[in-house]
Amino acid sequence: MTSQPTLPARRLLLRNARVAPMTTGGTETQLAQIATEGDTITAVGPDVQLEGAETFDCQGRLVTPGLIDCHTHLVYGGDRAREFELRLEGASYEEIAKAGGGILSTVSHTRAASEDALYAQALPRLQAFLAEGVTTLEIKSGYGLDIETELKMLRVARRLGRDHPVTITTTFLGAHALPPEYKDRADDYIDLVAGPMMQAVADEGLADAVDVFCEGIGFTPDQTRRVFAAAKAHNLPVKIHAEQLSNLSGAHLAAAEFQALSADHLEHLDEAGVKAMKAAGTVAVLLPGAFYFLRDTQLPPLDLLRQHDVPMAVATDCNPGSSPMNSLVLAINMACTLFRLTPSEALLGVTRHAAQALGLADRGQIAPGQRADLAVWDLEDPAQLGYRFGINPLWKRIWNGNL
């Protein structure tokens, strides 16, 4: 997230913008003008004017904050279409992983690819997100599992952010899977991740957060704890892949002991975990694409999350194995159809709550002082955003105050 291209400051007045209220309450919209100066929204309201500004008539179109995808694995080599076939023939995601496929198959492709090749493969994926109004996107490492390749992935992610009108945040996920050279030596691998690997990542300033895949086919709660303790020593906030396939109480650990920014997946989350997340302000990141693509049947505990008022974000989990999805608009649709989120909950999930899941307070809302990252849709009602799929409803996209 560090180096953004510096574009000239500019004053923009969006007229006749239909602005959603951005609460969980409802989808009633208001017509307003939105003034932006440089990279910041300076005023929102029915009578706002801005001297000498470039004026832009939205003609009553829906305007939302620029969308935020807070959980992706966008940079990777190769694909896993053959495993998709195997799963259709009856193999499970876990069986494929245990047989040395899954994440490890992407690791070998990612290790073999040059930095330029990884960049070139990631580019059309990133462009698909930008075309649908995404203005901030998180990218995780985790398909390198050695120092050199983890750094390579994170450098590619940073470079994508420097070259394009989008904010890229990066997350170090060295503890994603056990690399083959550490077979039966998981604790030794964790020594590497929490020690020299994280040190190298921190030295180059390549990560904004640290993540662990806490799972039977990933790492144990104790191993997770060691990685998080190292993250804390480097002043890096943590996130966790937890309770996707089983309940190891990873979300509880991440929230209660490390004030995690977010816990993600959460199909098997229990009430103790929900309460710990509420107490720590940890966001629940829902990943309906992985639920859909793995044909999962265990729903995340949505009613408990609502009851305890835990903020819910929605993300694509864009990755080659469990969610080869490159559309956050489709994730909104899936969050509504599969998880029964209301359209306004889903909209909050890809804006305000997604920003919170990344620890970013300066975006995700249309309000003075927020970043001038906006999406103008060829729609009138927020419910339409999650309703129709297979057509891109974006009309204009504004990042950093620039159309």
Residues contributing to the site for ligand NIG (CB under 6 A): 73, 102-103, 106, 213, 241, 244, 290, 317, 319-323
Tell me which amino acid residue 179 is.
Answer: P
- CB nearer to ligand NIG: pick between 32 and 209: 209
> Is the CB of 39 or the CB of 215 nearer to Fe ion?
215
3-class SS at 39? Answer: coil
Residue 39 or 317: the one with the smaller Cβ distance to Fe ion is 317
Residue 383 DSSP symbol: G
Residue 275, amino acid: K
- Evaluated on CA atoms 184, 187, 191, 197, the torsion sign reads positive
Rounded CA gap, 211 and 263, in Å?
A: 9
Query: Is residue 76 a contact partner of residue 36, using CB atoms and an 8 Å limit?
Result: no
Work out how close the CB of 213 gets to ligand NIG at its nearest, in angstroms, rounded to a whole number: 5
Backbone angles phi, psi at 273, to 5 degrees: -65, -45
Q: What is the DSSP string of 235-298?
A: T--EEEEESSSS---HHHHHHHHH--SEEEE-TT--HHHHHHHHHHT-EEEE-HHHHHHTT---
Q: Which of Fe ion, ligand NIG, none does 386 bind, CB closer than 5 to 8 A by kind?
A: none
In the complex with ligand NIG, the residue whose CB is nearer, 250 or 393, is 250
| CA-CA-CA-CA torsion sign (361, 227, 142, 114) | positive
Nearer to ligand NIG, 33 or 170 (CB): 170
* Choice between 224 and 402, CB closer to ligand NIG: 224
Q: Which stretch binds Fe ion (CB under 5 A): 48-56, 92-100, 311-319, 387-395?
A: 311-319
CA angle 287, 291, 294 (to 5 degrees): 135
What is the Cα–Cα distance from 273 to 289, expressed in whole angstroms? 22
The residue (of 239 and 397) whose beta carbon lies closer to Fe ion is 239
From the list ligand NIG, Fe ion, none, pick the one residue 102 interacts with, judged by a Cβ distance below 5 to 8 Å according to partner type. Answer: ligand NIG
Site string for Fe ion, 49-88 (x = CB under 5 A): ----------------------------------------
The binder of Fe ion chosen from 243, 267, 317, 345 (CB under 5 A): 317
158 binds, among ligand NIG, Fe ion, none (CB under 5 to 8 A by kind): none
Stretch touching Fe ion by CB under 5 A, among 47-55, 90-98, 183-191, 312-320: 312-320
Instruction: Select the binding partner of residue 226 from Fe ion, ligand NIG, none (C-beta < 5 to 8 A, by kind).
Output: none
Distance (Å, whole) CA 170 – CA 283: 17
Which span (25-33, 186-194, 251-259, 309-317) binds Fe ion, by CB under 5 A? Answer: 309-317
Of residues 297, 300, 390, the one with CA closest to residue 345: 300
DSSP class of residue 218? S
Q: Residue count at the site for Fe ion (CB under 5 A)?
A: 1
Residue 50: which of Fe ion, ligand NIG, none does it interact with, CB under 5 to 8 A by kind? none
Shortest reach from residue 323's CB to Fe ion, in Å? 7
Q: Which does 167 bind (CB under 5 to 8 A by kind): ligand NIG, Fe ion, none?
A: none
- Residue 66 contact, options Fe ion, ligand NIG, none, Cβ 5-8 Å cut-off depending on partner type: none
Instruction: Pick between residue 103 and residue 209 the one whose CB is nearest to ligand NIG.
Output: 103
How open is the CA angle 125-129-133, to the nearest 5 degrees? 165
Structure tokens at 271: 């009430």
**Least distance (Å) from ligand NIG to the CB of residue 275?**
24
Nearer to ligand NIG, 249 or 323 (CB): 323
Distance of CA 232 to the CA centre of its chain: 21
What is the smallest separation between the CB atom of 319 and Fe ion, expressed in angstroms? Answer: 6
Among residues 210, 74, 76, 205, the alpha carbon closest in space to that of 137 is found at 74
Q: What is the residue-wise DSSP string for 43-109?
A: EEETT---TTPEEEE-TT-EEEEPEEE-------SS--HHHHHHHHTT--HHHHHHTT-THHHHHHH
Task: For residues 165 and 156, give the distance between their C-alpha atoms in angstroms, rounded to a whole number.
Answer: 15
Q: Which residue is nearest to Fe ion (CB)?
A: 317
Q: How far is the CB of 150 from ligand NIG (least distance, A)?
A: 15
Binding site for Fe ion (CB under 5 A): 317
